[in-house]
Amino acid sequence: MNRGEIVGRVVRYLTEQIVDDPDSVEIEVVDDGEDAVVAEVKTAKPDMGRVIGRRGRVARAIRMVASGAGDEEGLEVGVEFLD
């Protein structure tokens, strides 16, 4: 299992459930230090607002769940939403 694989799977699942076009979802997990990874989330432009949510509430929730998934692997996790 690759480093951050659980995080990537969890973030992909959550994001695909929110958007209208799940085929456009791209998740890349990159190293961000010795015990840290960042999940970079890309979606179709119209879906990005749905993923971020009002006042960033959905994005915050995704980050919290991703952090919990990172705990399973002993990693600190960041989630960035890229357009």
Query: What is the total count of domains within the chain?
Result: 1
Q: How far is CA 61 from the centre of its chain?
A: 10
Residues of the domain holding 9: 5-82
- What pLDDT was estimated at residue 1? 72
Q: How far is CA 74 from the centre of its chain?
A: 17
**Average pLDDT over the chain, rounded to an integer:** 95
Is 74:15 a contact under the CB 8 Å cutoff?
A: no
Question: Which CATH number characterizes residue 76's domain?
Answer: 3.30.300.20
Q: Quick check: pTM over 0.75?
A: yes
Is 81:48 a contact under the CB 8 Å cutoff?
A: yes
CA distance 49 to 1: 32
Q: How many residues does the chain have?
A: 83
